[in-house]
Chains A and B, each alone.
Chain A
């Protein structure tokens, strides 16, 4: 089929004038970026907690080790996994619609992501936030009950 390049401008401009081609609003791209960002942040949170959990479980061999692990698992923010998956999937889908825009540096994003997870996970573990979660707020009650049930002396981290 022979086509005339000179008609290209007319073809496209006619479609624009007739409203057959419409410009997507800026909001569309803003929402895409926000969803991707939310997905990425949620992924960092999920990965950080998992990292902290792995480190914690590796050294949780003392009294109550299993109990503390169970408590952390029960207090794990599972909702962030949903946010992470939904945000990333939708965000990537949005971005793929206009993926041709700019050169991304995937290695930079991956390195940044992994570093953020390791640093945040290590900080949480080093600062004892995992342990604090067990001793304060709702966890304190569980700890108290557990210590009483097992005749373990309270105080000093509920050690015998």
Chain B
């Protein structure tokens, strides 16, 4: 049976109990996705690589705290989220929200464009949106996470995830119309 056939959780169990070299499979599976995610948050490729490397190291050292009944994906994304937030706090680099911005619009952007088009717009527009809104947007559209997974990663209720994504879409429409 090839390693590709094993789930993340099964591989983690093998890394913990018998073959730590299998951790390379986990890194290969997640490095590109995590790098994109970290880069979308920190907007600096070198720092994003550092974050992902540190996150994989932390994940390995704390692998015994991971509950294999839960999703490894949410766990590793959470680690990258924490590392990124720590770094952002350190450098105080954050896109401010325009003071006169109004969320009152009831327009549904997905109705206008569809999810695929929205995803393309998100990719182009993400840098213009504050982290509070860009992060759930990035997880939902670019990382293809469900509301439940976004809620698990960011540790916010699902309702808050929905509100932030909705607001992010409105922000995107107002701030990125020219893109």
- Cα distance A98–B24 when bound, in Å? 21
Q: Which of B58-66, B102-110, B113-121 contacts A (4 or more CB under 8 A)?
A: B58-66
Main secondary structure of the interface of A (DSSP, over half): loop
Interface digits, B38-65 against A, CB 8 Å rule (1 contact, 0 not)?
0000000010010011001110111111
Given known contacts A29-B64, A97-B62, A8 and B27 CB-to-CB distance under 8 angstroms: yes
| Chain A residues near B56 (CB-CB < 8 A) | 8, 12
Residues of B within 8 A of A9 (CB): 24, 27-28, 31
Give the interface centre of A12, A21, A104 by most chain B CB atoms within 10 Å: A12
B62 and chain A: residue at smallest CB distance: A98
> Could you tell me if A101 and B46 are in contact, using CB atoms closer than 8 angstroms?
no
Q: Which of chain A's residues 1-52 have a Cβ closer than 8 Å to chain B?
A: 1-3, 5, 8-9, 11-13, 15-16, 21-26, 28-29
The residue from A3, A12, A26 contacting B57, defined by CB atoms under 8 A apart: A12
Interface size on B, residues (CB 8 A): 34
Residues of B contacting A22 with CB < 8 Å? 61
**In the docked arrangement, what's the CA distance between A67 and B58, Å?**
57
Cross-chain contact of A1 among B21, B24, B46, B64 (Cβ < 8 A): B46
From the candidates B58, B64, B78, name the one contacting A25 in the complex (CB within 8 A).
B64
* Alpha-carbon gap, A5 to B46, bound state (A): 10
* B67 touching A102, Cβ below 8 Å: yes
Q: Which residues of B contact A (CB under 8 A)?
A: 16, 20-21, 23-24, 27-28, 31-32, 35, 46, 49, 52-53, 56-58, 60-67, 70, 75, 78-79, 81-82, 151-152, 155
